[in-house]
Amino acid sequence: MKKIFKILAIGALFQHACYAGVTVYKDINYKGSSVKYGVGAHNYNEIKRNNPGDDAISSVKIDPGYRIILYWDPNYRGRSLTLTKDTPNLVIYGANDQTSSLRVEKIAVNGTFKRWNNTGYSGASTTWKVGEYRNVNGNFSSIFVPRGFSVTLFSAQNFSGNVVALRAQDNDIWIDDFSAICPSIKSLVIEKNG
Ligand SMILES: [Ca+2]
């Protein structure tokens, strides 16, 4: 009995890994037919076979930690749009019913706390190990806290001012527009969950 359970657990893990990526929808607000794309390059011929097919994607849902690049033309050419979070209406970006090729990428992180200068986990970045940091620099526009770690952020040096505490218990924490929550960070503490 114990053995069977173990096999099922591995199967569930594998399935989850297989399906991580981005789901695209034919209509806005995640409606109509949908297709999930995993990490990699997906060119015109593949998209054309699916539903939504060529020039037919209107909204996208993105698993945390992934990004999608939509290209107007086949072969990853023409105008493009990079998205890192769920986007219910591509009309707003002038990207509705345009996609003819796309790429799905995993955002690169290692096992500790990371922040980026720009939203969408882009631009210059810094990664810190477990510890206390009294005086830090850089914009905290988007951040990542890996599962198993807690990060406490302070708006002033020496662990003072406003506090934002993030405890990544069961899942990684991804915040695409962290500066909207707390515009300034000057010190921080990173701990491994006990
Ligand atoms: Ca197109």
- The Å distance, Cα 54 to ligand 1 centre, comes to 7
> What residue segments make up the domains of the chain, in order of their start?
21-106, 113-192
- How confident is the model at residue 138, as a pLDDT? 87
**pLDDT 10s digits, 44-88:** 999 999 999 999 999 999 999 999 999 999 999 999 999 999 999
User: DSSP 3-state assignment of 15?
Assistant: helix
CA separation for the pair 40, 100 (Å, rounded): 15
Kind and range of the H or E element at 12?
A: helix 2-19
Distance 39 CA to ligand 1 centre (A): 21
Distance 29 CA to ligand 1 centre (A): 21
Higher pLDDT, 13 or 177: 177
Q: Are strands 40-42 and 173-175 parallel, antiparallel or unpaired?
A: unpaired
Fold that domain 113-192 belongs to in CATH: Gamma-B Crystallin; domain 1 (2.60.20)
Sorted by sequence, the CB contacts under 8 Å of residue 113 that are 6+ apart come out as 127, 128, 143, 144, 145, 146, 149, 151, 188, 190
pLDDT digits (tens, 9 = 90+) for 116-153: 999 999 999 999 999 999 999 889 999 999 999 999 99
Q: What region, left, alpha or beta, does residue 65 occupy, with left being phi > 0 and alpha being psi -120 to 50 degrees?
A: left
Q: Which superfamily does 21-106 belong to?
A: Crystallins (2.60.20.10)
Q: How far is the CA of 99 from the centre of ligand 1 (A)?
A: 5
- Please name which of 43, 175, 187 lies closest in space to residue 119, comparing C-alpha atoms: 175
